[in-house]
Structures are given as C-alpha cells and as structure tokens.
Structure 1
Amino acid sequence: MEYIDKEFCLEVWGPMACFTRPELKVERVSYDVITPSAARAIFEAIFWKPAIHWQVTKIEMLNPIKWTSVRRNEVGAVASKNPIFIEDKRQQKNTLCLKDVRYRIWAKLEFIPVRKRKGEQPSLFDETAHPDENPAKYNAMFERRASKGQCFNQPYLGTRECSCSFRLVNPETEELDAPISENRDLGIMLYDMDFEHNLKNPPAMFYRAQMENGVINVPPKDSEEILR
C-alpha cells in the first residue's frame, strides 16, 4: 500500500550553536549553518519510533550568520581506574561557534512498514496483521507532542551545551517571516552518517550546500548529490 509522507515545519532558536566541522578536530569550528543531521536530531528529540524516519527537506535562515568565540578548560584524559589529577591534564580549547541563531526546518515523516523493517519487500505489508501500523497515527503523535513543547530529550544545536527552543509551525494558518536575503555557497557540508549500511562504524555522507535567499534545499539521502 502506498503512503504519502507528511511534511512538518519547526522553528528552532537558541543563543549559541556549534555544528562542528569534522576536518577540524583540535579546535572546534562550526559550519556556517545547521547541518541536516543536526536538524534531524531535533525532530527525533521530539518524536521517534522504529517505524519512522525523518528526512529533512529544507532549512530557512531567519537570523543573519553571526560568530562568537569561547575559550574553556577541558580535561585531556579519559577517566579510568586510576584517578586523574586535573591540574596535570587541563587543556585550554577554543571554540568558534554561532550566536543568536534561528532556523525554520522542514522535514518529512517517512513511514516504514513492518515487513520492510524486517528486511522483507514492502509490497508484502499486511494491514490486517498490523491494524495500528499506519502513518496517520505517527503524524498525530508528533503534532500533539510538538504543539505542546514535549520532547524525549532536550533538543540542542550541534553540541549538548547549546540547547534550543522550538515550536511547531503551521504554514497554512500562519504568516511566516521571510528568510534572510542572502546567497552563499556553503561548500561541502556534513549531510549525515550512513547508519543504514553500517551501524557500528557508519561512514560520513556529505553534500554541497547552497543558500539562495536564505533557503537551503536538502537533497534526499539516495540522491546523486550525496557524496559518500
């Protein structure tokens, strides 16, 4: 049976954000904008089940890109059986992050039929055997949770110390603020991790991000635009 994936919209904002570039490991440096994987994680923090997958489709910039720098002390050792003398292991690290961010994120709730989750052909899906398995149920659950501000864990913008607020947007009844008027080639950006083919050590996927009038269109994960 065919289903139409429903698209939802969230407005998210926070005082700070850091979407760390993987090529810079010693000093943390953020991408200019939120990555699709970080956007997906916000939707999953509100609602996730094995029967669904979130596919981010569009990111709209509502605030201009602004930067700030944070220097802090960190412990350069892993806790083990031996105690750590902090004064010997203390390191100063600098983080170049974003400040005063606000995004409007669009994502589709993709329903995964039971038999497809078990590795069988999706055409073998039997509604009579699983009457409660339908996308309408999950769509309603997400709308209810997001409209009430409920989440399984606190959503964050890249790193856990950069927590964010969110609200569900209804584009049919609301007058939406226009994105910023800016075009920018954001270069090669982290898309997501390929958990579908390797759960233990998933490889990274990248894509070329282009911002046009404050809007970044995100390709689907099986698109030729995805670099593996």
Structure 2
Amino acid sequence: MKNYCLELSGDYACFTRPEMKVERVSYDVMTPSAARACFESILWKPAVRWHVRKIEVLKPIRWINLRRNEVASVVSMRNVETAMKTGKGDLGLYIEDDRQQRAGLFLRDVAYRVYADLEFLRERDPSANPVKYQEMFERRARKGQCVNQPYLGCREFAAAFRLVSDPASEQAAITETRDLGFMLHDLDFSNPADPLPRFFRAQIENGAVTVPDWNSGEVRR
C-alpha cells in the first residue's frame, strides 16, 4: 500500500446522517465513505481499493440552514430497460409535477486534509505492476484531472482538490477535541442487492479523526 493525502474544500457540504429520514442533516465532519468517494473520483479501477486512514479538519465547523427544491422520484428501471430493448421510451422527469421542498442543516466553508492508502489487488490484474496505478493517480491528482468531479456529500456541493506531497509543511488542523458519536464508516456490499451500513465511534482530537480499519472491532453494524 502507498499513502496519499488530498486537500478537499468547498462552499458547502452535507454528509447526511442516515437516521434522519426526511430532512437532510449533516454529520459535523466528513465521513470516511465520502472521503473514499473523492479518491475514487480521481482513480477507480477494479484492481484498486482505497482505505481512508485519517481526516483532518482545517476550518472551524460552521453550519447553515437551507431549503431546497428536490425531485421526489427517480426514473423507473423498468422504463429504462424497455427503452433499451425497443429503442424508444419516456425517460423524462417533469420537475414541476414532481417537485418537493426539503430543509437541510449543512456545513459551510469547509476544508479537509484526507489521508488514504491505495491497495493494489493483484488477483484482479495479475500482470500489472502496482506502480502503474500509483503513477496514474499521482499524475491525475497533480493536474487536477478526475473521472467525475469530487463532491462533499451531495453532488451539487462540488469539491476543489489538491494533492498534498508534504502534509507537515501545510497549515495546521483546528484545535478542537470532542466526541462526535457514532458515524457512518461505509457500506458493506457483501450482498450487493442489500448493502448494509457500518458505523464507528468517531472522536475528533486536535482537529483530526482517526478512521479504524474496516475489519477492526471498532467498526459495527
């Protein structure tokens, strides 16, 4: 494995608490699953797996209440399958007929420094050299290239990113220390048809959240 560090920032963020059924309420700090998604947006391959190890908070935790228009439904998979078979179909969603307003408690003016290990899965690409994937990620991250734009919890909250080569020379994290309660670690896709969330007890210590290993006893269903 090789460790990398990304700085992620944006005007708004929402790392939604799954226990909130209707309104969107964010965790205080970026979740490991959201951080993993940012690394994957720069480089995802079947032979690569990302493990988030630490999340540093670079700006004070600030909140904002917003009410947004959202579309209440998604396009039916049955309609998509029919359109693929017949070559035609109505796949549109009419916003005026399907609009709903939701209140949300979001984070604002956020910045994080995220550390993650790139694991090479040799069984998925036996002839490859792990250096190939490492260089691919480094090249993309330095040039600001990505497969899709990284985002901070919700796709409309785009994240600016920067590869950090020497974290020790960067600005210090905030000095806050407190218990954050149980936080979503990631989804368990052992059963792809019914992925299950797994949680850990998050602590922010001098602005940093240490993320336990997926297989450790600290991660629970």
Smaller-chain TM-score range?
0.7 to 0.9
Q: Which amino acid letter does the alignment assign opposite residue 147 of structure 1?
A: R
Q: What runs of 5+ residues in structure 2 fail to find an aligned partner?
A: 77-89
Q: Could you say if the C-alpha distance between residues 85 and 62 of structure 1 is closer, same or farther in structure 2, counting changes exceeding 3 Å? A: closer
State percent identity of aligned pairs.
Answer: 58
Q: How big is each residue's C-alpha offset from its partner over 1:107-127, in whole Å with a ceiling of 9 and x where there is no partner?
A: 00011112xx49xxxxxxxxx
- Which residue number in structure 1 is paired with residue 164 of structure 2? 169
Name the counterpart of 2:50.
Answer: 54
Q: How does 1:1-228 map to 2 (within 5 A)?
A: 5-77=1-73, 89-114=98-123, 117=124, 130-131=126-127, 133-171=128-166, 175-195=169-189, 197-228=190-221
C-alpha separation between the residues in 2 aligned to 1:202 and 1:79? 21
Aligned partners of 1:77, 1:167: CA distance in 2, in Å?
35
Quick one: which amino acid aligns to residue 99 of structure 1? R
SS state at 1:38 partner: helix
Distance 1:93 1:171, change over 3 A: same
The one-letter amino acid paired with 2:119 is E
From the superposition, tell whether residues 180 and 143 of structure 1 become closer, same or farther in structure 2 (CA, over 3 Å): same
Paired letter, 1:184: R
Equivalenced residues, count: 208
Gaps of 5+ in 1: 119-129
Q: 1:63 to 1:85 in 2, by over 3 A?
A: closer
- Where 1:71 maps in the other structure, the secondary structure is strand
C-alpha separation between the residues in 2 aligned to 1:155 and 1:78? 22
Give the TM-score normalised by structure 1: 0.85
Q: 1:97 to 1:226 in 2, by over 3 A?
A: same
Of the structure 1 ranges 201-210 and 78-87, higher mean CA displacement relative to structure 2 is found in 78-87
Query: C-alpha separation between the residues in 1 aligned to 2:140 and 2:152?
Result: 19
SS of the residue corresponding to residue 143 of structure 1 reads helix
Pairwise CA distance, 1:87: 5.9
Which digits, 9 at most, give the CA deviation of each residue in 1:78-121, with x for residues without a partner?
5667998866654321011000000000000011112xx49xxx
